[in-house]
């Protein structure tokens, strides 16, 4: 038996997705830009995927640009916006709990002379609407914020960004990183007031290596790469048609959102109740956070990285000690929440998908209970 509970890092691809990718690699392997039958067949699959994903966002096909994933899409959104609008202002507003692809991008822009405002979270990992309104001024050219935090699941007030931009009469573009929200919440860029939205395939049971950036029609950004006509020159280069087709297939398999939301809420509530029965265990994120993520303090002498490896090797239970992209670095999210080194060094992230069951939670809690008993503080 095993329990995969690291779905915020990546999800298991659906069988139909794997079959679609294989079919593309073996049957429709042509270059999508070629004019012969093999190329046209591959191009048709890319168009189909674009239509499926665009429909899920209630946007036009032409507003969706494929990338290699969320990291590239975030870089394209941030650098592209800053370079396109640098004569209109100098301020960039973000938060201290963003994904590394956002934080490191704005840090680079800061070196180039842009003013970067990083909003600090409260102890629950939340940002307030008031903080956004205070930070956005008439000199702001970009506000970049995640919808759902990848470590503690806090749901940020992204719908307030457009209101703050309008109030400040700022020329700012609004970028929302929806990597942890897409497929779990209703993501409609128009309703969010977003000019740019980042999504990726491997968080929604699709393949790794492809994602997309929604760019509102009429929004100008500067490309990061050059050398081709693909994606309207915004992201040139031969399209990864097998992965893109797999992305489309994954989105076509999205279940009813209300039913999925109810099931995950029940699973989260069950997990919270079972974890709280274990002596010394503390849940770091509030019940207002996303039901897909639990951040949990484990009272063991082991550090979080060792706990993750122990649960994996001894019990076949797979969780993480923070963002997979951080590769073992101290959590900047928990640090920003000021939880203290003792908690930060012994906290793990549990993240669910629609494939998880109560049996997975039972395996998890049994493994944690035994670990705490065998290796206490």
Residue 165 token pair? 């931009």
Whether residue 45 is found in the same domain as residue 159: yes
Whether residue 125 is found in the same domain as residue 225: yes
Out of 213, 230, 252, pick the residue that ends a domain: 252
What does residue 62 show for φ and ψ, rounded to 5 degrees?
Answer: -70, -10
Q: What is the C-alpha to C-alpha distance for residues 294 and 305, in angstroms, rounded to an integer?
A: 16
Residue 118 token pair? 């990083």
What residues contact 210, with CB distance under 8 A and at least 6 apart? Answer: 66, 67, 68, 69, 200, 201, 240, 243, 244, 246, 247
Q: What is the C-alpha to C-alpha distance for residues 321 and 304, in angstroms, rounded to an integer?
A: 6
Q: What is the C-alpha to C-alpha distance for residues 63 and 50, in angstroms, rounded to an integer?
A: 10
| Exposed e or buried b per residue across 83-121, where buried means at least 16 C-beta atoms within 10 angstroms of its C-beta | ebbeeebbbbbbbebbbbbbbebbeebeeeebebbbbeb
Whether residue 158 is found in the same domain as residue 233: yes
Residue 293 and residue 283 in contact, taking contact as beta carbons nearer than 8 Å: no
Each residue of 29-66: pLDDT tens digit? Answer: 999 999 999 999 999 999 999 999 999 999 999 999 99
Whether residue 304 is found in the same domain as residue 184: no
Strand order in the sheet with 347-351: 282-283, 293-297, 347-351
Whether residue 201 is found in the same domain as residue 232: yes
Whether residue 216 is found in the same domain as residue 263: no
Which of 177-181, 321-325, 328-332 has the highest mean predicted lDDT (pLDDT)? Answer: 177-181
Q: What is the C-alpha to C-alpha distance for residues 60 and 248, in angstroms, rounded to an integer?
A: 15
Whether residue 308 is found in the same domain as residue 333: yes
Checking if the pLDDT of 268 tops 70, the result is yes
Q: What is the C-alpha to C-alpha distance for residues 75 and 95, in angstroms, rounded to an integer?
A: 16
Domain span at 177 = 15-252
Task: Tell me if residue 59 is catalytic.
Answer: no
Q: What is the pTM of this model?
A: 0.97
The residue whose two tokens read 């890092």 is: 9
Residue 185 and residue 176 in contact, taking contact as beta carbons nearer than 8 Å: no
Out of 230, 252, 274, pick the residue that ends a domain: 252
User: Which CATH number fits the domain that encloses residue 166?
Assistant: 3.40.640.10
Confidence of residue 327 (pLDDT cuts 50, 70, 90): low
Checking if the pLDDT of 326 tops 90, the result is no
User: Which CATH number fits the domain that encloses residue 278?
Assistant: 3.90.1150.10
Out of 223, 252, 281, pick the residue that ends a domain: 252
The number of domains in the chain is 2
Whether residue 155 is found in the same domain as residue 216: yes
Phi-psi category of 183—alpha, beta or left, where left has phi over 0 and alpha has psi -120 to 50? Answer: left
Confidence of residue 325 (pLDDT cuts 50, 70, 90): low
The Cβ of residue 262 has, within 10 Å, a number of other Cβ atoms equal to 12
pLDDT value for 1: 82
Whether residue 234 is found in the same domain as residue 280: no
Q: What is the C-alpha to C-alpha distance for residues 117 and 129, in angstroms, rounded to an integer?
A: 15
Each residue of 120-142: pLDDT tens digit? Answer: 999 999 999 999 999 999 999 99
Checking if the pLDDT of 118 tops 80, the result is yes
Catalytic residue selected from 25, 40, 325, 355: 325
Whether residue 289 is found in the same domain as residue 362: yes
């Amino acid at each position: 038996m095993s329990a995969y509970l690291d779905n915020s890092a990546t999800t298991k691809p659906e069988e139909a997705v794997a079959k679609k990718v294989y079919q593309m690699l073996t049957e429709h392997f042509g270059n999508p830009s070629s004019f012969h039958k093999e190329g046209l067949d591959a191009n048709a699959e890319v168009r189909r995927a674009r239509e499926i994903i665009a429909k899920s966002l209630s946007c036009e096909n032409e507003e969706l640009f494929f990338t290699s994933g969320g990291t590239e899409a975030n870089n394209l959104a941030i650098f592209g916006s800053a370079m396109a609008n640098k004569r209109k202002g100098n301020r960039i507003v973000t938060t201290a709990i963003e994904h590394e692809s956002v934080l490191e991008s704005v840090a680079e822009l800061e070196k180039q002379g842009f003013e970067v405002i990083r909003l600090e979270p409260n102890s629950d990992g939340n940002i307030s609407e008031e903080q956004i309104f205070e930070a956005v001024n008439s000199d702001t050219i970009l506000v970049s914020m995640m919808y759902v935090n990848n470590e503690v699941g806090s749901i940020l007030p992204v719908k307030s960004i457009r209101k703050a931009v309008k109030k400040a009469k700022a020329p700012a573009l609004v970028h929302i990183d929806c990597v942890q929200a897409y497929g779990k919440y209703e993501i409609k860029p128009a309703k969010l007031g977003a000019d740019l939205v980042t999504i990726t395939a491997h968080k929604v049971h699709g393949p790794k290596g492809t994602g997309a950036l929604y760019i509102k029609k009429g929004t100008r950004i500067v490309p990061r790469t050059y050398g081709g006509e693909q994606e309207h020159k915004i992201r040139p280069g031969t399209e990864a048609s097998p992965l893109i087709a797999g992305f489309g297939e994954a989105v076509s398999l999205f279940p009813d959102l209300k039913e999925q939301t109810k099931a995950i809420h029940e699973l989260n509530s069950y997990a919270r109740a079972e974890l709280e029965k274990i002596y010394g265990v503390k849940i770091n994120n509030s019940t207002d956070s996303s039901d897909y993520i639990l951040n949990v303090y484990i009272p063991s002498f082991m550090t979080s990285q060792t706990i993750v490896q122990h649960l994996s090797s001894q019990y076949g239970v797979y969780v993480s000690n923070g963002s997979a992209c951080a590769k073992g670095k101290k959590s900047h999210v928990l640090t920003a929440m000021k939880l203290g080194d003792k908690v930060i060094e012994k906290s793990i992230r549990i993240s669910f998908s629609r494939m998880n069951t109560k049996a997975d939670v039972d395996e998890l809690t049994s493994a944690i209970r035994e670990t705490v008993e065998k290796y206490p503080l």
